[in-house]
Amino acid sequence: MLSNLTIRPAISADTPLILEFIRGIAIYEKLEHQVVATEELLRAELFGDRPVAEVLLVFTDETPVAYAVFFHNYSTFLGRRGLYLEDIFVKPEFRRHGIGRMLLQHLARLAVDRCCGRFEWTVLDWNTPAIKFYEELGADVLPEWRICRLTGASLQRLAEA
């Protein structure tokens, strides 16, 4: 375990660091070609009048080592909101020090404190180390659920239909 680990909510001045983490996770997931976010867009969406998500940053001393982006969703079955983890990323050189576990525990406590009915996220099917880690934490990986996504021209076509 690294010493002097701290977790804190991101502020607007952290936007360049958040974009750096986004690019880092995109490279790891082999999806860097999909990153079109800019500092300006992130600043407006995360720190504007109606923030759409929250960001946590993890530091060891003054060095940024990890981040998480999350927001609330809603379960009609539970009649309660949930906490949805969009991204969690630990820089490769800081892995295997308990940082990911610590960040997930922090988010779980936040979900409980906010009376959330569930805490959810997705994992790529090829990311077996992450799947194993999540299962060891007690998470259920739901193979029967598939993500459906509309973007770009398909989204526009449906909106105009």
In the residue annotation, 84 being an active-site residue is answered as no
User: What is d(CA 7, CA 58) in angstroms, rounded to the nearest whole number?
Assistant: 4
User: Which residue matches tokens 């998480």?
Assistant: 68
User: What is d(CA 123, CA 17) in angstroms, rounded to the nearest whole number?
Assistant: 23
User: What is d(CA 145, CA 44) in angstroms, rounded to the nearest whole number?
Assistant: 32
User: Which residue matches tokens 């992130």?
Assistant: 42
Q: Are 83 and 114 in contact (CB under 8 A)?
A: yes
Catalytic residue, candidates 28, 67, 84, 134 = 134
First to last CA, the chain: 54
Q: Which residues are catalytic?
A: 134
